[in-house]
Amino acid sequence: MTDLLRIEDLAVEYKTRRGTARGVDNVSLNLEENKTLGLAGESGCGKSTLGRSIMRLVPYPGKIVNGKIDLLLHEDIVFPKGVIEKGFVNIMDLNEEELRALRGKEIAYIFQDPMTSLNPMITVETHFQEIMKAHDPDIKKEEALDRAQEILDGLGISPERITDYPHQFSGGMRQRVMIGLGLALRPKLLIADEPTTSLDVIVEAQILEEMAELKELFNLTMILITHNLGVLAQTADDIAIMYSGRIMELSPTEALFEDPLHPYTQALLESVPDVSKPDKKLSWIPGAPPDLVDPIPGCMYNPRCKHTMDICKTTQPGLIMNDEERLVACHLFGGEK
Amino acid sequence: MTIPMIMLLLTFVFVIVRILPGDPALLHFERNVSPETLAEFREALGLDVPLLNQYFNYLGGIPFGDFGLSMQDFTPVSEHIQIRFPATLELTIYSMLYAVLLGLALGVKSAKNYDSVQDHGIRMFSIVTYAIPVFFLGMILQSIFSIYLGWLPTGTRFDPHYSTPATITGMYTIDSILTGNLTALIVSARYLILPTITLGTILCGIFIRLTRTNMLETLRQDFVVAAEARGLSANKIEYTYALRNAFLPILTMIGLQFAALLAGAVLTETTFSWPGLGTYLVQRIAHRDYTALQGVVVFFGILVAMVTLILDILYAYLDPRIRL
């Protein structure tokens, strides 16, 4: 299998009044084609920032300060002002025009809240017309409309409703529209940032199922960002657990749930209820998430960890591979850096 | 809602003008007059009957557009309003246009360059213009552009050496265009420039600030980021996404500022001797011309109510989420 995406030493900083916070701290990861990678962790751990960095859409005042983001293009991307040649392209080297050509065409991003992700002033049709026109200025209006209606139909939305405004749709339908917009140009990579968090569980299940079907249909590679480990258990091939802007563990989904390596992953799983084990006693992680503006020396997780050793307070553990080819950043598994 | 509001305003004005010291009868005559003459005068004006009767007599005429007779020259107040209102309307329309367009342009520029030197400069400008008194700015502009440089005329609204365009709307620029009279258009436009800039600049500060805040807020909204993530052009995002959404609160502000605009028009008109309703109002205050004051204030009230209504309709037209 080939990699579609290779991220190397990515670092994102947020300049705030109090100081500089490292939202993403030297993250490296590779993503194989047609796989789904789950990014999980508590609020503020940098999972969304990582997702947005891939499109170079880090929210203000965040800034990518270091790193490489290589994306594999199977075909040349032709846009009005130039061409991006096929092969690996470093997204960090692209200019605004090239980025715009890539966004929506090769990479699609689905946001958390479908209620606020569509422009309330324009119809769903206009949304589709805009994205198609932006990437193919010569497209005919009728052709765009046909394609949009086909996409909506595939997502279970009646094609006549294309002339409706976003407020005339329910949350689940709006998220379907967002997915439809995301997939309108057949991108290779889909980044879904908590796509079902604001939906009720039944709609959540439907949307996840549809996304899994679409992934097969369009040969998508997916990054699914969520704090809901249950969602990942069903959908992800691999899961990366993030904490304070770093990847703590990256394992195949099954292995991660059966035998979590990192103490943080273990603690997270202990805090999730399990329907098959009604007697399971839930626990919690003591302490509070770390202050990213004023980072502590050593492992960022050490004040909350059950296994803290002396070295944890002085040296930051690097991400190392164990014998099962799983990645973990913890001194319990060696890997002094 | 509008009718009780107007009624309340009417009553309020009726009472206030009578509480003010000063007597229209005494002020009408320049020298000492005999009590008999005064009494006659009062009778002629209907000021001899009890207040409550005066009130109902006055109120009865309003629905028929009868604002009573002026207490100075005994001509109907409605005629004065009819003659002078176009001048005020012309000034307010151009000032509002100037204020809104300048406000939108600078506000968008400021938001787009958030936290830059430009942004700070524009914000400074908006505070200064918001705080500066109308007459002060008016006088400064007058002395620079009319007196020192002599570029623009000041005082009144038309050059007596030329003939005014045929009256259709009473607004000289509009009438000139309708009758194809280019000379009259240029003359009237030159007279309009300074008062318009004065009044518009005072008003634009609030539009700059409002546009900036709303644009900043909308630019951070999910749907704007989502549009960026779909690769839409910056122009498209700024205009169909950010500005269209940010414009709705600005529209509300236009309605609210219309009242401020009329108040500002009174001062601007006085500064520039603009023969509109504002100068008329000021003149008649000096004479305690009760009926004229009531008439103009109530007319302004009706105008503000109408503008609000029009904006509400426009709001529904612009925002698909609102249907009448």
The verdict on a CB contact (< 8 Å) between A104 and B321 is no
Q: Rounded to an integer, what distance in angstroms lies between the CA atom of residue A169 and that of residue A172?
A: 8
The verdict on a CB contact (< 8 Å) between B231 and A59 is no
Segment holding A277, helix H or strand E: none
> A328, A249 in Cβ contact below 8 A?
yes
Q: How many residues does chain A have?
A: 337
The tokens of B9 are what?
Answer: 């305003």
Chain B nearest CA to A329, separation (Å): 32
Q: Rounded to an integer, what distance in angstroms lies between the CA atom of residue B198 and that of residue B141?
A: 8
Q: Rounded to an integer, what distance in angstroms lies between the CA atom of residue A104 and that of residue B288?
A: 70
Domain tally for chain B? 2
- CA-CA-CA-CA torsion sign (B130, B134, B140, B141): positive
Q: Which of A54, A78, A110, A117 to mutate to test the interface with B (most CBs of B within 10 A)?
A: A117
- Answer yes or no: is pLDDT of A65 > 70: yes
Task: Report the candidate in A229, A142, B244 with the shortest Cα–Cα distance to residue A239.
Answer: A229
Same domain, B218 and B87: yes
- Answer yes or no: is pLDDT of A210 > 80: yes
Q: What is the 3-state secondary structure (H, E, C) of B195-216?
A: HHHHHHHHHHHHHHHHHHHHHH
Residues of A in contact with B115 (CB under 8 A): none
- Answer yes or no: is pLDDT of A337 > 70: no
Per-residue pLDDT tens over the stretch B258-316: 878 888 888 888 888 888 888 898 888 888 888 888 888 888 888 888 888 888 888 88
Task: Report the candidate in B240, B223, B224, B219 with the shortest Cα–Cα distance to residue A113.
Answer: B223
The verdict on a CB contact (< 8 Å) between A134 and B245 is no
> Which among A105, A117, A120 has the least Cβ separation from residue B231?
A105
Nearest 5°: CA angle at B210, between B205 and B213? 125
- Answer yes or no: is pLDDT of A5 > 90: yes
Q: Is residue B114 part of a domain?
A: yes
Q: Rounded to an integer, what distance in angstroms lies between the CA atom of residue A36 and that of residue B164?
A: 77
Chain A nearest CA to B83, separation (Å): 42
Same domain, B29 and B136: no
Q: At A139, which amino acid appears?
A: I
Task: Report the candidate in A223, A233, A219, A234 with the shortest Cα–Cα distance to residue A190.
Answer: A223
Chain A nearest CA to B322, separation (Å): 10
Q: Rounded to an integer, what distance in angstroms lies between the CA atom of residue B51 and that of residue B90?
A: 37
Q: Is residue B144 part of a domain?
A: yes
pLDDT at A335: 53
Same domain, B120 and B181: yes
Residues of B in contact with A61 (CB under 8 A): none
Q: Rounded to an integer, what distance in angstroms lies between the CA atom of residue A90 and that of residue A96?
A: 13
Q: Rounded to an integer, what distance in angstroms lies between the CA atom of residue B324 and that of residue B316?
A: 7
Q: Is residue B65 part of a domain?
A: no
The verdict on a CB contact (< 8 Å) between B245 and A181 is no
Per-residue pLDDT tens over the stretch B8-38: 888 888 888 888 777 777 777 767 778 888 7
The verdict on a CB contact (< 8 Å) between B321 and A167 is yes
Q: Identify the residue whose tokens are 């557009």.
A: B65
Whole domain around residue B190: which residue ranges?
Answer: 81-286
Mean pLDDT of A69-79: 90
Same domain, B122 and B264: yes
Q: Is residue B74 part of a domain?
A: no
pLDDT at A33: 92
Same domain, B52 and B89: no
> B69, B77 in Cβ contact below 8 A?
yes
Q: What is the 3-state secondary structure (H, E, C) of chain B?
A: CHHHHHHHHHHHHHHHHHHCCCCHHHHHCCCCCCHHHHHHHHHHHCCCCCHHHHHHHHHHHHHHCCCCECCCCCCEHHHHHHHHHHHHHHHHHHHHHHHHHHHHHHHHHHHHCCCCHHHHHHHHHHHHHHHCCHHHHHHHHHHHHHHHCCCCCCCCCCCCCCCCCCCCCCCHHHHHHHHCCHHHHHHHHHHHHHHHHHHHHHHHHHHHHHHHHHHHHHHCCHHHHHHHHCCCCHHHHHHHHHHHHHHHHHHHHHHHHHHHHHHHHHHHHHHCCCCCHHHHHHHHHHCCCHHHHHHHHHHHHHHHHHHHHHHHHHHHHHCCCCCC
The verdict on a CB contact (< 8 Å) between A59 and B240 is no
> Which among A111, A120, A135 has the least Cβ separation from residue B226?
A111
- Answer yes or no: is pLDDT of A336 > 70: no
Segment holding A45, helix H or strand E: none
Q: Which pTM was predicted?
A: 0.80
Residues of A in contact with B226 (CB under 8 A): 109, 111, 117-118, 178
Across the A:B interface, residue pairs with CB atoms under 8 Å apart total: 82
Q: Rounded to an integer, what distance in angstroms lies between the CA atom of residue B104 and that of residue B90?
A: 21
> A301, A288 in Cβ contact below 8 A?
no
- Residue A331, φ and ψ in degrees, nearest 5: -70, -20
Same domain, B136 and B265: yes
Chain A nearest CA to B237, separation (Å): 10
Note the ipTM here.
Answer: 0.87
List of long-range contacts for A257-261, beta carbons under 8 Å, 24+ apart: A257/A229, A257/A233, A261/A322, A261/A326, A261/A328, A261/A330, A261/A333
Question: What is the DSSP annotation of A205-222?
Answer: HHHHHHHHHHHHHHT-EE
Segment holding A107, helix H or strand E: strand A107-110
Per-residue pLDDT tens over the stretch B38-82: 788 777 777 778 888 888 888 887 777 777 788 778 888 888 888
For chain A, list residues whose CB is within 8 angstroms of any CB belonging to chain B: 55, 57, 59-60, 96, 99-105, 108-109, 111-113, 116-123, 130-131, 134-135, 165, 167, 178, 181-182
Q: Is residue B197 part of a domain?
A: yes
Mean pLDDT of chain A: 90
Rounded to a whole number of angstroms, the CA Rg of chain A reads: 21
**Residue B190 Cα distances to A235, B140, B176, angstroms:** 71, 17, 13
Q: Is residue B194 part of a domain?
A: yes
Per-residue pLDDT tens over the stretch A216-243: 988 999 999 998 888 898 889 999 999 9
Task: Give the list of residues 6+ apart from residue A258 with CB closer than 8 angstroms, or none.
Answer: none
- CA-CA-CA-CA torsion sign (A164, A168, A170, A175): positive
- Residue A195, φ and ψ in degrees, nearest 5: -70, -15
Indicate the pairing of strand A3-15 with strand A62-73: antiparallel
Q: Is residue B296 part of a domain?
A: no
The tokens of A245 are what?
Answer: 């802007």
> B231, A102 in Cβ contact below 8 A?
yes
Residue A282: DSSP 8-state? P
Same domain, B50 and B160: no
Same domain, B108 and B212: yes
CATH number of the domain at B241, please.
Answer: 1.10.3720.10
Q: Is residue B64 part of a domain?
A: no
- Answer yes or no: is pLDDT of B134 > 80: yes
Nearest 5°: CA angle at A284, between A282 and A289? 155
Residue at a domain's end among B269, B286, B303: B286
The verdict on a CB contact (< 8 Å) between B226 and A100 is no
B310 against B161, higher pLDDT? B310
Segment holding A110, helix H or strand E: strand A107-110
Mean pLDDT of B151-159: 79
Same domain, B129 and B229: yes
Give the Cβ contact number of residue B89 at 10 Å.
18
Indicate the pairing of strand A238-243 with strand A36-40: parallel
Q: Which of A95, A121, A124 to mutate to test the interface with B (most CBs of B within 10 A)?
A: A121
Same domain, B161 and B18: no
B173 against A102, higher pLDDT? A102
Same domain, B180 and B230: yes
Lowest mean pLDDT among A34-38, A55-59, B30-34: B30-34
Q: Rounded to an integer, what distance in angstroms lies between the CA atom of residue A276 and that of residue A289?
A: 30
Mean pLDDT of chain B: 85
Same domain, B89 and B26: no
> Which among A99, A109, A116 has the least Cβ separation from residue B223?
A116
Residues of A in contact with B319 (CB under 8 A): 120-121
Residue of A nearest to B222 (CA): A117
What is the separation of C-alpha A20 from the centre of its chain, rounded to a whole number of angstroms? 23
